[in-house]
Structure 1
Amino acid sequence: MTRLTSAQPRSTGYPGYEQQLDRRPEAAAEARALVRVALACWNLDEHVDTGTLLISELVANAVRHASGPHIRIHIDRPAPARLLFAVVDHAPDQPPRLRTPGPDDTCGRGLLLLDELADRWGHDTVGGPVARPRTKRVWAELRVTTS
């Protein structure tokens, strides 16, 4: 059973949506649905394919490598021509690392895909003192054209 916090638009600041999901593989489908809703609301449907792929990779990494029962998805529009997709998890001591997988490896390509599709991506720690953060946010930014 998925315990969801209903996706809600922000009431102040720049536009954005967030949703808490159980940290399980099925969370990727729910995160993709949130991307589709957000981009439709912003009339940016032409970026749905890239956005859903970015969020899928971010969620897959959090499900595989993080700890804790939940993750939090953020779909933000910090500027008219920028989209920000992020996943917050409870593994601040496990930063994402780009790898060079071998031809027979079945994993290790998600961040390479993020690196190729996103205009920028990265991670930061959130909450608590600098020496002991509580969570990690991994994000990907996409530049978009607006009409």
Structure 2
Amino acid sequence: MGTVSLPDTWVYALRLPHDPRAARVARMTVRAVLSGHGREEILDDVELLASELVANVYRHAGGTASLRLTALGDGRVRVGVWDRHPYIPAPFGEPPWDRVGVAEEGAEGGRGLRLVQEYADRWGGLPVGDGVWGRGVGKLLWFEVG
């Protein structure tokens, strides 16, 4: 009788406070998790994109965030960032996917979501209705790499 080996799947979740250091905590968490699972080949991209989404929560949503890292059975890693603000920005909206333009030269912001569409293999956004996950209204933005 042969053995069955399960795919290398795992899930990590982290709740982040409304704090300017939350993006740094997200980067450190991503680095620790992906390094611990031998996924260095995607580490830089995932670390950058997760950090951008968490930083946007701090800047625009004004509340706590949740970060979830999931290894899918086919080698991809999915990262989800939840917050209480209902607005789903481009490029996470409904198909045909909104595209984020290039930030103007000298602009202090406007590059983070563009990075998602450049470096992620897939991405999307979901509204989270009242009572779902016990957290109230908000959204979940996600991307996949690998």
TM-score interval for Structure 1 and Structure 2 normalised by the shorter chain = 0.7 to 0.9
For 1:141, the aligned partner's letter is E
Larger radius of gyration: 2
| Greater mean deviation of Cα atoms: 103-112 or 38-47 | 38-47
Could you tell me the TM-score, scaled by structure 2's length? 0.77
Measure, in 2, the Cα distance between the counterparts of 1:59 and 1:99.
Answer: 20
Q: What is the deviation of 1:44?
A: 0.8
The match for 2:73 is 79
Q: What is the deviation of 1:139?
A: 1.1
Say if 2:89 is the partner of 1:89. no
Q: Is the 8 A contact 2:80 2:140 kept in 1?
A: yes
Two-structure CA RMSD over aligned residues (Å): 1.9
For 1:71-121, what per-residue CA distance to the aligned partner results, in whole angstroms no more than 9, with x for missing partners? 1111111223110112100001x1112344222321111111111010111
Could you tell me the TM-score, scaled by structure 1's length? 0.77
Q: Which structure dedicates a bigger proportion of its chain to strand?
A: 1
For 1:56-77, what per-residue CA distance to the aligned partner results, in whole angstroms no more than 9, with x for missing partners? 1111111111133x11111111
The match for 2:111 is 109
Extract unaligned runs of 5+ from structure 2. Answer: 1-8, 91-99
Q: Is the 8 A contact 2:88 2:127 kept in 1?
A: no
Measure, in 2, the Cα distance between the counterparts of 1:74 and 1:138.
Answer: 10
What is the SS of the residue equivalent to 1:84? strand
The match for 1:31 is 26
